Amino acid sequence: MPLTEIGRYSLRRLEILDENGEVDPALEPDLSAEDLVKLYRAMLLAREDDQRMFKMQRQGRVGTFGPNTGQEAAVCGPALALSPRDWLVGSFRELGARLMRGEPLTHSYLFHNGYEEGNVFDGMERTLPISIIVGAQTLHAVGIAYAMKYRTEKDAAVLAFIGDGGTSQGDFHEALNFASVWQVPVVFVVQNNGWAISLPRSRQAHCATLAQRAIAYDIPGVQVDGNDALATYSAAREALDRARSGGGPSLIEAVTYRLMMHTTADDPRKYRTEEEVEQWWKRDPIPRFRRYLESKSIWDDAKQAALEAGIKEEIDEAVKKFESMDGFKPDAPFDHVFGTRHESIEEQRAAFLANLEGEA
Amino acid sequence: MAKMTMVQAINLALHEEMERDDSVIVMGEDVGVDEGVFRVTAGLHEAFGSARVLDTPLAESGILGTAIGMALAGLRPVAEMQFSGFSYLMFPQLEGHGSRFRSRTQGRMTVPLVVRMPYGGGVRALEHHSESREASYAHLPGVKVVIPSGPRNARALMAAAVRDPDPVVFMEPKRSYRVFREEVPEEPEIGQIGRARIAREGSDLTLVSWGAMMRPVLHAAEEVTSSRGASIEVIDLLTISPLDGSAIARSVSKTGRCVVVQEAPRSLGVASEVIAQINDRALMHLEAPVNRITGYDVVTPYFGREMGYIPGPGRIRRGIEETLDF
Ligand SMILES: Cc1ncc(C[n+]2csc(CCOP(=O)(O)OP(=O)(O)O)c2C)c(N)n1
Ligand SMILES: [Mg+2]
């Protein structure tokens, strides 16, 4: 009765654009200048919008939110690989990807100011709203992918995001297993930003990488430099292409870093050092991408200035529009409890409206 | 005596209980180094170390499932759910196992643990951070559900919960965490689970409530007393399950009128059970139908609309007046 080796596994890491903006020509994706600028703009918009929301939060003009600063490459790269026929299933730290899917800037202000209206926009059909229950959305993604397979939808797949902390949830493991058993077109991107609130990645999971979770579920897995937008794009592109052509699910671990607080209610000084944060600012995904564009002679200072001015104007206008919005229907929650009317709800609506008058 | 917020008072009880009994373990997401997102576990990690104050991986079912195992093996875990809105991920562990080991083994195996969770609205928080779902837990036989209303009773009830031989869901009204301070005695106080408290004595009407609603309820009682001289008795339930039906019946038998105030949705909640208890025990003493002022049977609105949905002093006052005038 011999002891035999029955499996041997390996894992790869992808880096294309280094911290200085030097590209590996052998791995450089074939993206048009137009797409490259689109990606750069998306990252910068996400960064600037974050910074504006942060200011607004501190001034009490929006509520608690979780900044995506530092993670723009991890979300915008994969989002660039999406077609309108694909689904985006996010959690709560993918502002850049949401904007790329056509969500108006005003909507994250609305959402974070306590209005469901922030979840609703034209063209949202294949973009699920923010999912706050950590991990749950990965199972929804698998179900959507199953429906696509069942309907024999061609050339479409689901892109699902989750955080490093989220990989500890049973839901995440169930999602990988279901996706693998069903061989459905879904790509999971783990944004490993080093922290789940105060818990460092090393204490979230004992394993050296999160990409290796793929091995146990027998799906392709890869780790990428999550601050390298070319790597996140390329890995997602490859995985989505495989999914769209019937090749089943994949897992991508994007190693990135949350440069700001978990949410505006959090104080990271309690659990991490300034030095660590500074180290990661040196790996900021945005300046390196700009240097890459410059090295390809598709970018210069004048274009940068124009882009910054354009983004500022876009955000200014969105803020103005958001702050002039009013007339939120007070009894809207009664409209959407069920798809059918029931007298018990309608009686309560009437009581609610009468009470509103009583308060006035 | 020191004046404390509810956060500080619960923290004090945890310090005292961990000091007293080395089988007490605190566990949950961000409860150690970060000291809890509301700082309820402040100082515990420093005082007791990471073997007794565990920063767990992010998995609520994992937290409660392992806490059950610890309790079966003689420890007394105090597990935190960061917000009650995330606690449903552990519901299968509590319903399927935590609540049942005692009856399953006819008392040979027990699960003495506490599950702490901030609950309730009014703090302008994101989705899943404002719900009031105490009825879901109260409907589990074998599980006690405690809801303090102020610093002093929170400290005493936390001590009682840690010492209790059974699983206790300890729901902390986060809206009351820091809005007021109260004298908390130096010496440990042990509350009594299963007993309501008369928060204010009166003879014309009984107001029944719990948790964060106690503040607007007491406010409304004062208003009605000063505006029309009515004498209002206020009962603070403190324990939702097992419910102190006799305290409710005693009061209502005396006053003949009752208003129940609940933050949670209207139907099938604790208010319904309070009214059923009155029906069982004091119906013939009633001079008016029991009134209930509640949330609505809608999905908890995002915070832009929430204040219209949570009972406030105005609605409560009108409810009292209607019942007095019936
Ligand atoms: C089921 C559940 N438990 C707890 C929380 C509270 N919470 C929100 S985000 C978070 C940490 C998430 O970490 P990670 O998955 O790494 O995502 P990141 O915040 O770093 O983007 C926690 C504990 C939640 N939203 N959902
Ligand atoms: Mg994280």
3-state SS string for A201-257: HHHHCCCCCCCCHHHHCCCCEEEEECCCHHHHHHHHHHHHHHHHCCCCCEEEEEECC
CATH number at residue A241: 3.40.50.970
Cross-chain Cβ contact B57/A205 below 8 Å: yes
Same domain, B219 and B119: no
Same domain, A351 and A237: no
A345 part of contact set with chain B, CB < 8 Å? yes
CA distance B272 to B258: 13
Determine, yes or no, domain membership for B191.
Answer: no
Q: Is residue A163 classed as helix, strand or coil in its secondary structure? A: strand
A51 part of contact set with chain B, CB < 8 Å? no
Q: What is the mean pLDDT of residues A191-211?
A: 98
C-alpha distance from A221 to closest chain B C-alpha (Å): 22
Closest among B129, B296, B261 to A333, alpha carbons compared: B296
- Residue after which a domain boundary falls, among B136, B158, B184: B184
Same domain, A339 and A270: no
Statement: residue A74 has pLDDT above 90: yes
Same domain, B246 and B319: yes
Determine, yes or no, domain membership for B189.
Answer: no
Number of domains in chain A: 2
Report the percent of chain A where pLDDT is more than 90: 98
What is the ipTM, given to two decimal places? Answer: 0.97
CA distance B60 to B28: 8
Determine, yes or no, domain membership for A239.
Answer: yes
Query: What are the chain B neighbours of A328 within 8 Å (beta carbons)?
Result: 304-305
Same domain, B85 and B160: yes
Determine, yes or no, domain membership for A216.
Answer: yes
Same domain, B19 and B165: yes
B309 part of contact set with chain A, CB < 8 Å? yes
Report residues whose beta carbon is within 6 angstroms of any ligand 1 atom: A 93, 132-134, 163-166, 191, 193, 195-197, 258, 262; B 29, 58, 60, 82, 86, 89
Report the percent of chain B where pLDDT is more than 90: 99
Determine, yes or no, domain membership for A247.
Answer: yes
**Domain extent at residue B282:** 197-325
User: Which ligand is the nearest neighbour of the Cα of A198?
Assistant: 1
Closest among A133, A120, A131, A31 to A76, alpha carbons compared: A31
Same domain, A54 and A180: yes
Same domain, A34 and A115: yes
Same domain, B152 and B44: yes
Statement: residue B172 has pLDDT above 70: yes
Closest among B135, B136, B133 to B119, alpha carbons compared: B133
Residue of A nearest to B86 (CA): A133
Same domain, B251 and B283: yes
Determine, yes or no, domain membership for A6.
Answer: no
Number of domains in chain B: 2
Cross-chain Cβ contact A334/B298 below 8 Å: yes
User: DSSP letters of B216-246?
Assistant: HHHHHHHHHHHHH---EEEEE--EEES--HH
Cross-chain Cβ contact A132/B126 below 8 Å: yes
* Mutation test residue for ligand 1: of A64, A65, A134, the one with most atoms within 8 Å of CB: A134
Query: What are the chain B neighbours of A336 within 8 Å (beta carbons)?
Result: 299
Statement: residue A173 has pLDDT above 70: yes
Same domain, B272 and B239: yes
Determine, yes or no, domain membership for B190.
Answer: no
Same domain, B56 and B80: yes
Determine, yes or no, domain membership for A344.
Answer: yes
Torsion angle, CA of B151/B74/B87/B147, rounded to 10 degrees?
-30
State residue A358's pLDDT score.
75
Same domain, B258 and B151: no
**Domain extent at residue A68:** 12-328
Statement: residue A28 has pLDDT above 90: yes
Same domain, B172 and B208: no
Torsion angle, CA of A50/A51/A57/A60, rounded to 10 degrees?
-130
Report the percent of chain B where pLDDT is more than 70: 100
Closest among A319, A344, A291 to A53, alpha carbons compared: A319
Q: What is the mean pLDDT of residues A241-267?
A: 98
CA distance A37 to A43: 10
Q: Which tens digit of pLDDT belongs to each residue from B178-215? A: 999 999 999 999 999 999 999 999 999 999 999 999 99
State residue B238's pLDDT score.
98
Give the Å distance between the CA of A161 and the centre of ligand 2: 11
Same domain, B126 and B28: yes
State residue A330's pLDDT score.
97
Owner of token pair 């958001």: A322
Statement: residue A229 has pLDDT above 70: yes
Same domain, A215 and A122: yes
Q: What is the mean pLDDT of residues A217-224?
A: 98
DSSP letter for B123, please: S
CATH number at residue B301: 3.40.50.920
Q: Residue of the nearest CA to atom 7 in ligand 1?
A: A134
Residue of A nearest to B310 (CA): A352
State residue A360's pLDDT score.
58
Confirm whether A173 is a catalytic residue.
no
- AA letter at A9: Y
CA distance A29 to A39: 13
Is the model's pTM score more than 0.90?
yes
In Å, what is the CA distance from B28 to each residue of A134, A282, B48, B50, B202? 15, 33, 15, 12, 42
A306 part of contact set with chain B, CB < 8 Å? no
Determine, yes or no, domain membership for A271.
Answer: yes
Same domain, A175 and A198: yes
Q: Which tens digit of pLDDT belongs to each residue from B262-302? A: 999 999 999 999 999 999 999 999 999 999 999 999 999 99
Extract long-range pairs of A234-240: CB within 8 Å, 24+ residues apart: A234/A14, A234/A16, A234/A27, A234/A29, A234/A77, A235/A14, A235/A78, A236/A77, A236/A78, A236/A81, A236/A159, A236/A187, A236/A189, A237/A29, A237/A81, A239/A187, A240/A81, A240/A82, A240/A86, A240/A157, A240/A159, A240/A187
Determine, yes or no, domain membership for B192.
Answer: no
Q: What is the mean pLDDT of residues A353-357?
A: 90
Same domain, A217 and A343: no
For residue A339, name the pLDDT band (cuts at 50, 70, 90): very high
Determine, yes or no, domain membership for A4.
Answer: no
- Residue after which a domain boundary falls, among B122, B149, B184: B184
Owner of token pair 């009594």: B192
Statement: residue B65 has pLDDT above 80: yes
Helix (H), strand (E) counts: chain B: 12, 14
Same domain, A340 and A222: no
Same domain, B235 and B153: no
Give the Å distance between the CA of B85 and the centre of ligand 1: 12
Helix (H), strand (E) counts: chain A: 14, 8
- Residue after which a domain boundary falls, among B159, B184, B209: B184
Confirm whether B139 is a catalytic residue.
no
Q: Which tens digit of pLDDT belongs to each residue from B36-60? A: 999 999 999 999 999 999 999 999 9
